[in-house]
Amino acid sequence: MQRELDSQGLQFSPYCTQQIEQLVSRGLERMRNNKATEHPSHLMNAERNLKALIKYFSNYSKEVGSFPQLSVSDFDTALRTSPAYWPYCSSG
């Protein structure tokens, strides 16, 4: 996760870091519960989607003019409006 944040040049506040870590933790738990961790293709998809989610946050911060940072309220809004990135974010 940190490599992708660095790659995107995005800087998260402690709140945003905590929230994304919780998303990752819940995503890993979801994967374990569904036995997705036993399938390399699911692991690769989860890694690809984490990168895509971080890129989404980076693009969002550029859209709102706060890049390289993302405020707490902008992070929350971006998370609510983000596409579904399995296993971290789901629609609905």
Q: For 14-45, what is each residue's pLDDT tens digit?
A: 999 999 999 999 999 999 999 999 999 999 99
91 within a domain of the structure (yes/no): no
Q: What is the mean pLDDT of residues 70-83?
A: 92
Domain membership of residue 55 as a residue range: 10-80
> Cβ(81)–Cβ(91) under 8 Å?
no
Asked if pLDDT for residue 91 goes beyond 90, the answer is no
Any domain includes 89: no
Please state the pTM of the whole predicted model. Answer: 0.88
**Is residue 70 within 8 Å of 61, Cβ to Cβ?**
yes
87 inside domain: no
Overall domain count for the chain: 1
The mean per-residue pLDDT over the stretch 64-89 comes to 92
CA angle 82, 16, 80 (to 5 degrees): 25
How confident is the model at residue 92, as a pLDDT? 42
- Tell whether 2 is covered by a domain: no
Q: How far apart are CA 75 and CA 69, in angstroms?
A: 10
Q: Is residue 15 part of a domain?
A: yes
